[in-house]
Amino acid sequence: MRSLSFLSLVCALSLFASTVSAQPQESYPPHPDSQKKPGVPEGEILGPFQWKSEIFPGTVRDYAIYVPKQYDPSKKTCVMIVQDGLRKAQGWKVPTILDNLIHEGAIPVQIGIFVSPGVVPAPHENAQPRFNRSFEYDGMGDRYARFLIEEMLPLVNKDYNLSDDPNDYLIAGSSSGAIAAFTAAWERPDHFRRVFSSVGTFVGLRGGNEYPIMIRKHETKPIRIFLQDGSNDLNIYAGSWWHSNLQMLSALKFSGYDVKHVWGEGGHNGKHSTAILPDAIRWLWRDYPEPITAGAPPQRRTSLLIPGEDWELVSEGHKFTEGPAVNNQGEVFFTDIPNGKIHKIAADGTVSVFVDNSPGVNGLMFGADGKLYACQNGNQRIVRYDADGNEETVVEDAPSNDILILPEFGYFTDPGNKKLWHFTFDGRKTLVDEGIEFPNGVIASPDQTLLTVSDTRGRFTYSYQIQSDGTLQHKQAYGHLHLPDETGQSGADGMAVDTEGRTYVTTRVGLQVLDQLGRVHFIIRKPQMAWLSNVVFGGPNFDVLYVTCGDKVYRRKINATGVNPWQAAVKPPKPRL
């Protein structure tokens, strides 16, 4: 354990020394709350202990625990997590700060968890360990958040009564540890909502440079963040730390976050942050126990959200929901693929079984004839149902996933064979394209001149011009989607369109809204951590999004009106550049 800690320390010190050698000297007076005060009870520091992670295989790391004198095992307790372990926490004077602020009543009683980055020990003395700090801290995605949630917190919770309320968690870090803290909150605001970032590494090491853009495009999350940096911070191959923090502040303000910043002239070190940390902690815990909520939606070019409107659960208890479709009255139908059922959501919100036995049924869409067309993949055919649920076969030998019905003909995707098919209502089918890695969702533009197909395994949606006979021309990888960090696959699935010509694409990172030019303007968060499979506009005014997500169906009213492809074409406004 001692040799591992020494190796971690040597690595960190070497990197630190190489980056600060040319930086100006700084001096700050010690903060009164960072110094021991007479009569203030001192908490206990336990550890460091050692932990072997499964989420980061082969890694070993140190962690230590701060327990305040006021800790009461019978009560749920708040938590402060500090990246880079006990050494960073002691350098920041965190135990003393917590002692003073808890005693004063300025912050709630809280347990401190100080976690070091992982190291894969060297196999022999002539080899180097694998230092995991950049991988864990600078990496995008939810891996590090899951490590904390699934490993560290349950470990500490065995001995201490930790809160399960995300409002009760503060997570802090410096440099790469700062972006790690922000990423944990960004990915899992259901666990972490207060963030302290010192000289944060929001640059192009492992994708952190994307944050200012993603913050602007994503639905605002319930996060409060304090930023610190200095104008003489690093400026190297990955970018300028100073300018990246300025961009972060601009993006957070643009998107309505509760954010505070303190800028200085210092370099890439902990001097300034140590001096201001007590005030930052006070600010982050101000007004506690009032919960941290998402800021008011900002004024955007694409302003879709309505204050007070959020995802609402409509139906649950299914195995896997898919294929939402809407009829002329705004009633929504959806499938439960493993159970081979089609369910109906009536105008009053009640859910009933519409069809009890439709093997492998997936994509749905109504037609101009008022019938519900379905991809019945279990029987490899396209079928349709009348108002009483009576089934009629439309196309035989049709392995299919999703379906589009226009007034005169239809299309369906065949992802297993990488094909896209055109069909007529008398049962004739024609291959119109092949080669997309996993063609999934299919939708038409409001004016019915362009067809869009999603590719679950890629990052683009594909656009075609629809010809009068149903054939397609001018194929182009057109819509540019944002990807999760853990895979190059967007997870793009079902789609819907609105009267403005915007396309709503269900993906791994959320419901991505593209303008007519194929650019993502906004990303609406998923209602739960599950596969977001499809979307449709429903309700009497077609202004309510219905999404199928894992085993559930949700709805949310937004500031947009959907277009039904099977009705008359609608000319959208000219797109803005």
What's residue 25's pLDDT?
Answer: 73
CATH of the domain spanning 312-557: 2.120.10.30
- Residues sharing a CB contact under 8 Å with residue 265, sequence separation 6 or more, in sequence order: 24, 26, 230, 231, 232
Q: What is the mean pLDDT of residues 386-410?
A: 98
Rounded distance between C-alpha atoms, residue 200 and residue 216, angstroms: 18
Is the pLDDT reported for residue 220 higher than 80?
A: yes
pLDDT tens digits for range 252-283: 999 999 999 999 999 999 999 999 999 999 99
pLDDT at 69 over 80: yes
CA distance 112 to 176: 19
Q: Is the model's pLDDT at 12 over the cut of 70?
A: no
pLDDT at 7: 43
Give pLDDT, residue 548: 98
Cβ atoms < 10 Å from Cβ of 202: 28
Binned at pLDDT 50, 70 and 90, residue 19 comes out as: very low
Give the contacts of 570 (CB within 8 A, at least 6 positions apart): 446, 447, 499, 563
The answer, yes or no, to whether residue 173 has pLDDT greater than 60, is yes
The mean pLDDT value of the chain amounts to: 95
The CATH number of the domain covering residues in 2-284: 3.40.50.1820
Alpha carbon distance 250, 106 (integer Å): 29
Q: How do residues 515-537 score in pLDDT, each as one tens digit?
A: 999 999 999 999 999 999 999 99
d(CA 265, CA 314): 53
**CB 431, CB 454: distance < 8 Å:** no
The CATH 3.40.50.1820 domain(s) of the chain lie at: 2-284
Across the chain, how many H-helices and E-strands are there?
10, 36
Is the CB of residue 59 less than 8 Å from the CB of residue 118? Answer: yes
Give residue 442's pLDDT.
Answer: 98
> What average pLDDT score do residues 336-354 get?
97
Average pLDDT over residues 291-320: 91
For residues 158-185, average pLDDT: 98
pLDDT higher than threshold 50 for residue 217: yes
Residue range 152-178: average pLDDT? 98
For the segment 219-241, the average pLDDT, to the nearest whole number, is 97
pLDDT band at 479 (very low <50, low <70, confident <90, very high): very high
> What integer pLDDT is reported at residue 23 of this predicted model?
54
pLDDT at 22 over 60: no
Nearest to 92 by CA among 199, 236, 208: 199
Is the preceding omega at residue 289 within 30 degrees of 0, hence cis?
A: yes
How much is the pLDDT for 378?
97
Q: Looking at the predicted structure, is the pLDDT value of residue 1 above 50?
A: no
CATH 2.120.10.30 domain locations along the chain: 312-557
What does the pLDDT read at residue 26? 82
- Tell me, what's the pLDDT at 211? 98
Lookup result for tokens 């879709």: 304
| Stretch 446-456: mean pLDDT | 98
pLDDT exceeds cutoff 50 at 4: no
Read off the pLDDT of residues 231-243 as tens digits, 9 standing for 90 and up.
999 999 999 999 9
Question: Contact 175/91 with Cβ under 8 angstroms?
Answer: no
| Token pair in block for residue 326 | 């809407």
State yes or no: pLDDT of 412 exceeds 80. Answer: yes
Q: How confident is the model at residue 296 (pLDDT cuts 50, 70, 90)?
A: confident
171-196: average pLDDT:
98
Rg (CA), the chain: 27
**pLDDT at position 129 over 50:** yes
The per-residue pLDDT for 301 is 77
Question: Virtual CA dihedral for 480, 486, 487, 492, nearest 10 degrees?
Answer: -50
Q: What is the mean pLDDT of residues 57-67?
A: 98
